[in-house]
Structures are given as C-alpha cells and as structure tokens.
Structure 1
C-alpha cells in the first residue's frame, strides 16, 4: 500500500475526567474527512499515545476504524519501548481492522542497528500488515539511517517512513535511494512544500487536525506543479503554526503543541473539551485567546 497525500495524526479528545471522548473523536474524524484527507493516522504523537492506557488505545482504534468504515486507510501507531510490547499492540490493531502499522525504533533500551532491523522485521512478519517506520529521534534517541530504511524496504519489511527527524538531507537520501515502492512522508508542518518538491509522497501534519483543508490545498498545488501557490499556502500554515508556541517556556513542548491543537479544535467547535493528558500543563485563558487570534488571522474563525 503506497500512501500519498495528507495523512493527519489524529488528536485524541478527552473528557474532563481524562477518558477518551468518543463523540468528539467521531466529530474530529468527520472534520478531517470533510477536509479531503487521504488517510488517518491514530495513536501517534499528536494522539498523545504515550499517555494513553491500553484500554484507551483500544477505544480510539474501535471508534475511528468503525466510524471510517473503509472510506480511507487508517494507520495505527503501535509505539512502545521494546518488540514484545509492540507486538501486543500489533495484535490489537490488527483485530480492530486497521490498514497499516506505524512503529518507532525501540527506546529506553540502548539498541544497535541490527536490533532495530530485527524489531521492524518481526513487526512485519507477525503483523501481516504494511509497516511504516516513524523516524522520531527527539523522542526515541535513535535516527533511522537511509541505509537501514532502504534495506528494510528492499526486503519488503517496510512500506514507508514518516520522517519527523528534521534532517532534510537524510530525507533526500531516502527519496533518491528508494527503488522498491516506498512511501516517504514528511512529519514537518512547516516545510511540506520543499519536501514535496524533493519528491516526498505526502505529509503527516499535526496541524492538519486544525486545518486539514489547508494541507490538502498545499498538496494539490504541489501535485499540479504550481509551486508559487504551494509556497503561499505553506507560508499561511507557517503563520498558523505559531499557535504551538503560545505556551512559551512555562510548559513542555508537548503541552504547548498538543494543548494548542486541542484548544484550536475546541474554538472551532470540533471537540467538546481541550484538556490534555496528565501531567501536561494546560494553557491559560490568555494563551487560548492568542490562539483564537491566530485562527482568525488564518481565516479559520
């Protein structure tokens, strides 16, 4: 399954008592589908997967896969520290009926490239579904090299990569070196036009929760070779991306970014509650107000 286009990593709305808000999640999925996205990625970083219990992960899977009903592919993050733990998530995701799996390198433990290869090979062999590598060195402390990714692609163990490494040179190496069908997806919200120009197949933007139509328009402009229009839309989205910085230094990057996405979705009337999982620091009223002004400036309120 060669993925292309816009594949937002779906936020996980929560109730005030920190349970998954399935009704809001359904509205968010409808909001994304109405925006014209090409697939959905649940249980990734923007989904707060690191904060969710196994039971909550299952609620997300069942809610989204059941509601989408095959309209677009649904990818599931099976992110955990080591292969045995990941395989349990693989089993649950496969039972839920997802179209593909997304996994990082192992983390917490210190690993060797050969162990990372074994990790992805095992997931592919046991899961029976396309596997997409999630290159996220800021969180898992390992950069997936072009050599490793392309070697696993040639074996058929990997169907693609979501590159959130921030390494544009490494991204280009993967694009230039691929031979087998292999989806190269950028995870950067702010350099999508340049990634597509280099030959990337699509984007997995957290900000796409807030403005899916914007990223779909950007992708369409790039697909028809209208790079001036693509750049203009990218620059509008760069200005909107300032919402992730309103929390400043008083909170972590996760609290600020995920809190901003949820606050924006709440202001747009998509989800009922903007709360983020513990122990993330919530945005205050002033910060939410600044997000509202940025949304208005982007034409979203």
Structure 2
C-alpha cells in the first residue's frame, strides 16, 4: 500500500454534555478547528478519545460525525481498542464500511497478551479488512511489546503499513529503520519525546496536547522536518512541561481540562475517569497559565 501518512495527528477528545451524553456538535467544531489550524490528520477514538467508554453504536456515530466534518481534508484514523480479536475484526469492518481511512490498532483490552498473542490479534484484523493499519506499540500502558522480531512477522501483512512507537525508548526508532528501511511509516507516540523522535526519523507525531496547542505542535514538526532544530527547541522547551501530562494515568482528564481552560472544549469525562481535584488540578492549571503567559510568537519562524 502506498499510504502517505505524515505530520501532526492529534488524538482528539470526544466531547460530552454535562449529562455525559456525546456532544456531537462540539466534537465536530473541535475537529474542524484543529484542521484549520494546520494538523495533518485526525486520530479518532484513541485513548484520549475515550474509546473504551463507548458502546459500538456510539463509536459508529462519533466516527460518522468526524468523517462528515473532515470532508476528506485530512486522513481520519480510528483507534481499535476491543476486548477480543473477533470484536476488533467486526469493529474494523464497520470502520471500512463507513469510510474511515485507516486503523490504529491496540492489543486486546483487559487481558494482557503475550507478544505471540498480540501478533496473532494484529494478523487477524489485517486479514479480515482492507484498511491500512497502524500498530500501536505501547508496552508501558498495555503490557506487551511487539519487538523487532515480532514486526518482522507483521511485515508480511501488506496492509500493516505503520507503527505508532510508544515504548519510550528512542533507540527503537533507529532499530525499526535499520531493520525495515521505509517498509513502515513510523509515528512518534509519546508527547514528551516527540522532538527527539522526529530528529531520529519519525515522519509523524500522534499527540494529545496538540488538542490544546495545535499551531505550536505543527510549528515544531515543520521546523524539525526542515532541519531547523535550534528554532524548534525554543518552542519545544516552552511546551515540554505541558507535554509531560500526556504520559501519566490521568492524561485524558489533564488534556480535557486544558482544552476547557483554553476555551476549546469541556473537561467532562466518563467514569471511571473523574475530574481532576486538589493539588493535581491546581498543578495542571498552573502549567497552562504559565504556558499562556510565555507563549511564543510563531510568526517569527516564517513557516508559511
């Protein structure tokens, strides 16, 4: 498959009303704003989109709403986070039917797979749908690492075209390129090592905090792509305290709270996720306010 996925792909939030029902209009408005601010693709119903907090019918409705508002301007990739391989196959086939551009596939939820089980899971999804697939390799969160040897097995599946590399070990990026050349499109998947990942050759960045500061994220990517690392560092060092929020268990609440502070969305999440309270809430608000007070004028970088 000749798939040209590159650039900044925010893992978008799903917006809710105060009664926890899905706010489709707010979700569409948020996605539309991100595209107008320069992002290169949309990851729908990933971890940040609270995939596992929705029924199948709700997931389908969210994806259709996002497809409608995107209207072909950028690729839309759906997270696949199901409890069994068969459910993941059925979900992937549904995504294909409604016009999703690709899949970001997680290992089976709840059960902690062995590497062999995870490889089988990915193989079965690839063999039962035609969509291009990104493997989401996040052993820190999901407890299973698909190694270089494992990726050699998955390289035999033509529609497995990409990997979201989230081991937090930047050496893995170089190992992927050494083993596979350009066989896989490699995305950096950890916000607080994104610049290092781009410097090592990643052609994309899947990000949570891009929901809050999309223009800064896009600027970092463009500067890195042009080899203007010293300029990228100025934005990066400003952004880093917030980017670290993407690597903690309450990342969804942190990102949605920052969206609310920025006037870009609501902090409402579905249980078991609960709103931030106490010192943690004050810390996130302090980080956001400090970022706003020291925000960099991007016009000086001449990126247009």
Is 2:281 the partner of 1:279? no
Q: Is the alpha carbon distance of 1:225 and 1:72 closer, same or farther for their aligned partners in structure 2, counting shifts above 3 Å?
A: same
State the distance in 2 between where 1:20 and 1:43 align: 13
Per the TM alignment, residue 127 of structure 1 is displaced from its structure 2 partner at its CA by 1.4
Q: TM-score, normalised by structure 2?
A: 0.88
Is 2:293 the partner of 1:297? yes
Per the TM alignment, residue 242 of structure 1 is displaced from its structure 2 partner at its CA by 5.4
State the distance in 1 between where 2:217 and 2:285 align: 24
Contact 1:135–1:143 (8 Å) recurs in 2:
yes
Q: Which secondary structure does the structure 1 equivalent of 2:77 belong to? A: strand
The alignment covers a number of residue pairs equal to 291
Counterpart for residue 82 of structure 1: 84
Counterpart for residue 162 of structure 1: 164
- Output one character per residue of 1:25-79: Cα deviation in whole Å (capped at 9) or x when no partner: 0111022102211110111111111222222212210110111011000001111
Counterpart for residue 32 of structure 1: 34
Q: Is the alpha carbon distance of 1:111 and 1:240 closer, same or farther for their aligned partners in structure 2, counting shifts above 3 Å?
A: closer
- Output one character per residue of 1:78-111: Cα deviation in whole Å (capped at 9) or x when no partner: 1112210101211221122110011122344454
State the distance in 2 between where 1:27 and 1:196 align: 29
Counterpart for residue 104 of structure 1: 106
State the distance in 2 between where 1:131 and 1:89 align: 13
Pairing 1:2-21 to 2, within 5 Å after superposition: 2-21=4-23
Counterpart for residue 208 of structure 2: 206
Counterpart for residue 259 of structure 2: 265
State the distance in 2 between where 1:283 and 1:182 align: 38
Q: Which secondary structure does the structure 2 equivalent of 1:159 belong to? A: strand
Q: Which secondary structure does the structure 2 equivalent of 1:204 belong to? A: strand
Q: Is the alpha carbon distance of 1:75 and 1:266 closer, same or farther for their aligned partners in structure 2, counting shifts above 3 Å?
A: same
Q: Is the alpha carbon distance of 1:180 and 1:189 closer, same or farther for their aligned partners in structure 2, counting shifts above 3 Å?
A: closer
Counterpart for residue 143 of structure 1: 145
Q: Is the alpha carbon distance of 1:177 and 1:224 closer, same or farther for their aligned partners in structure 2, counting shifts above 3 Å?
A: same
Q: Which secondary structure does the structure 2 equivalent of 1:279 belong to? A: coil
Counterpart for residue 51 of structure 2: 49
Query: Aligned-residue CA RMSD in angstroms?
Result: 2.1
Q: Which secondary structure does the structure 1 equivalent of 2:191 belong to? A: coil
**Which runs of 5 or more structure 2 residues have no equivalent in the other structure?**
297-304
Q: Is the alpha carbon distance of 1:132 and 1:244 closer, same or farther for their aligned partners in structure 2, counting shifts above 3 Å?
A: closer
State the distance in 2 between where 1:292 and 1:211 align: 10
State the distance in 1 between where 2:288 and 2:196 align: 28
| Structure of greater relative contact order (alpha carbons < 8 Å, 6+ residues apart) | 1
Pairing 1:161-180 to 2, within 5 Å after superposition: 161-180=163-182
Q: TM-score, normalised by structure 1?
A: 0.89
Counterpart for residue 249 of structure 1: none
State the distance in 1 between where 2:141 and 2:17 align: 26
